[in-house]
Structure formats: C-alpha cells, structure tokens
Amino acid sequence: MNVAELIHSALAEGKTRFAFELLPPLKGDGMGGVFAAIDPLMEFDPAYINVTFHREGIKQTQRPDGSAEWHVVRRRPGTVGISAAIKARYGVETVPHLICGGLSRYDIEDALIDMDFLGLHNVLALRGDKSQNERRFMPHPQGHAHAADLVRQIAAMNRGEFVDGEVEICHHSKFSIGVAGYPEGHEESASPEADIAALKAKVDAGAEYVVTQLFYDNARFFDFVRRCREAGIGVPIIPGIKPLATLRHLTLLPETFGCSIPEPLRREVLAHRDDKAAVRRIGTEWAIAQSRELKAAGVPVLHYYPMGKAENIIEIARTVF
C-alpha cells in the first residue's frame, strides 16, 4: 500500500496511525544515527516514515560592523539513498521529500527515476525555503517556482510524460504525492485565501494528501480543515506535531516555522524557565493533549517531527497509541 492508500485505510477503519519524519545524516556521517533514532519508534508501528530534503551549503551572518560573513554549512545530502535503506531495513513505507529549490526539472526527473528504481513510490512535493543568501525564493532557471509545478511534473511522469516529451511505451511510475499545508498561513502568502488557493492548486495538480506545518493550537488546525473543505479541498489533511522541548523554542519555533505559541503554554514554560526538565515535561504534556484531541476528532495519522530527538516522541506515542 502506498501512503495515500494507508491513510484511506486508516480512515475506513476509524484508526489513527503514528508516523514521523527525520533528517538525513550530515555529510560524512553514516546511517547509524538515523537507525538508532528509528529503532525505538518501531514499537508504535509507524504507517510511514518521511525523510526531509536539504539543499543549503552556505549561510550568511552579519559581522558586528554590519558586513556579511559567509559560512560553509555541513549539508545533509542522501535523502533518496537513506529512504531506500530505511525501507529495506524496516519494511515501512518511506516518503522522501523533494524540493524545487536549486534543482532543474532534469535533476528532479533523475531523482524520481532513482526513487522509482529503488522501490520508493511516495514523495512529499515541496518548493523548499529561500536560500540563506536570497531575499526571496529564486527558482532554478530550468526548475519550478511553486510546489504545484513540481506536483504537475510528478503526475505527468506517472502518465509517461517526461521533461523531453512523452515516451509512448514506458514503465509508468506510480508516485503517491503529498504536499505541505499551513494552518497558520505561509509567511509569503498575500492572504489566508491566497494560501488556501495555492494549496488547492497543488491538490488539483495531483496531490493526494496534505501534511501540515507544526502548530500548537488545535483550534487553528480545525479551522484550517474547515476552510480547506469550504474551498473544495477534499483530500485527507494530516496534522504535524512537534513537542516544544526548550525555553528557546518559545522564540525559535515561531521564527522558523511561523507558528504561534498559545498563551497558557508560554506562561507555563516561562514559569519554569530555570528548570530544563520541567520545560521539557510541559512541552511533552502539551503535545500529548494535542494528540489526544486530534485522535478523538478522527485524524487518520498523527505526523510527528522528532528532529533528531526521539525520547519525548516515545513518551507521547506510549501514551497516545
């Protein structure tokens, strides 16, 4: 079963499945760290495992005099390879992410052909963030400006239409395509309506389900689902959950992911600002409460973002699943 089928099967059975996403190893590292993160999570029978895609190689910071300083950042290549290794080792459907940023349509096609040959038939199609040295997202000259265009390319390939044209007699890939959604809006969107219209364009282009950006207020998710349905987006919408784990997350998470932190959560964290273990416990308990409410509302999958730290996800999964 591909991921879209797994989601529909969970819906038909009235179940909520566990799923999570992780990052490929840093360049030069082996696969041991990724497997060590996955091993304890297998107990919860994940419906699928996502693997993120990263393109950054340089980062800009400012010197005290205001001039720019460039740093080489250790990259995380290998999304397709590690996805195949995870699928082979655990037998779980694996979903490599694929982005538009920095890639031509030919690069994308080659990656998709590799994925198909490796038995990876799921993909999360994304635009990718702007590069650190860009003021706004700049597509590759032979690439795509929006995730909807990437979805169109993948859907076309499923029909046997390649970048250079149609191949009449060919092996047809059968990628199941997911896309990203933003309960609190995407930072570049002109309006909430434009954001939903952009999501609808991705679904109309062939996306079969949506995974959301992380959020801490379930009311925002429920409102997002309502607005999607009103706009004619009928595909399953999978909530993304990341437990807050440090005091710094109070500012870092909103800055990085554009999510808001509900006032009661902020107050409780600040009240325990000098106690790291207490802050972690508060974040975990909040994520448990969020997960329970979403499960009770009938979401087919809860998609967790461990970001390299599985301990709190294990605790949440033990309580919720």
194 binds ligand FAD (CB under 6 A): yes
Q: Work out which of 82, 126, 241, 316 binds ligand FAD, going by CB under 6 A.
A: 126
By CB under 6 A, how many residues form the interface with ligand FAD?
23
53 binds ligand FAD (CB under 6 A): yes
Q: Work out which of 213, 284, 291, 312 binds ligand FAD, going by CB under 6 A.
A: 213
195 binds ligand FAD (CB under 6 A): yes
Tracing tokens 């996502």 back to the chain, one arrives at 50
| CA angle 50–53–56, rounded 5-degree value | 155
Quickly list DSSP for 194-237: HHHHHHHHHHHHT--EEEEEE-S-HHHHHHHHHHHHHTT--S-E
127 binds ligand FAD (CB under 6 A): yes
> By the 8 A CB rule, do 7 and 60 touch?
no
| CA angle 74–180–91, rounded 5-degree value | 70
99 binds ligand FAD (CB under 6 A): yes
Separation CA 243–CA 287 (nearest Å): 5
Which residues have CB under 8 Å from 296's CB, separation 6+? none
Q: Work out which of 177, 180, 279, 287 binds ligand FAD, going by CB under 6 A.
A: 180
CB of 148 to ligand FAD, least distance (A): 6
Separation CA 39–CA 262 (nearest Å): 33
Tokens of 297: 């509302």
Sort strands 161-162 and 165-166 into parallel, antiparallel or unpaired.
antiparallel
315 binds ligand FAD (CB under 6 A): no
Q: Work out which of 52, 218, 284, 290 binds ligand FAD, going by CB under 6 A.
A: 52
Sole window of 3-11, 108-116, 191-199, 313-321 interacting with ligand FAD (rule: CB under 6 A): 191-199
Separation CA 283–CA 21 (nearest Å): 19
188 binds ligand FAD (CB under 6 A): yes
Sole window of 38-46, 102-110, 197-205, 224-232 interacting with ligand FAD (rule: CB under 6 A): 197-205
Q: Work out which of 76, 87, 97, 280 binds ligand FAD, going by CB under 6 A.
A: 97
Side-chain-facing half-sphere of 286: CA atoms under 13 Å: 24
CB of 196 to ligand FAD, least distance (A): 9
211 binds ligand FAD (CB under 6 A): yes
Separation CA 123–CA 153 (nearest Å): 12
235 binds ligand FAD (CB under 6 A): no
Which residues 135-164 are close enough to bind ligand FAD by CB under 6 A? 146-148
Sole window of 6-14, 105-113, 183-191, 248-256 interacting with ligand FAD (rule: CB under 6 A): 183-191
Query: Cα separations (Å) of 209 from 9, 203, 236, 280, 282?
Result: 13, 8, 5, 31, 31
Contact residues: ligand FAD, CB under 6 A: 52-53, 97, 99, 126-129, 146-148, 180, 186, 188-189, 194-195, 198, 201-202, 211, 213, 240
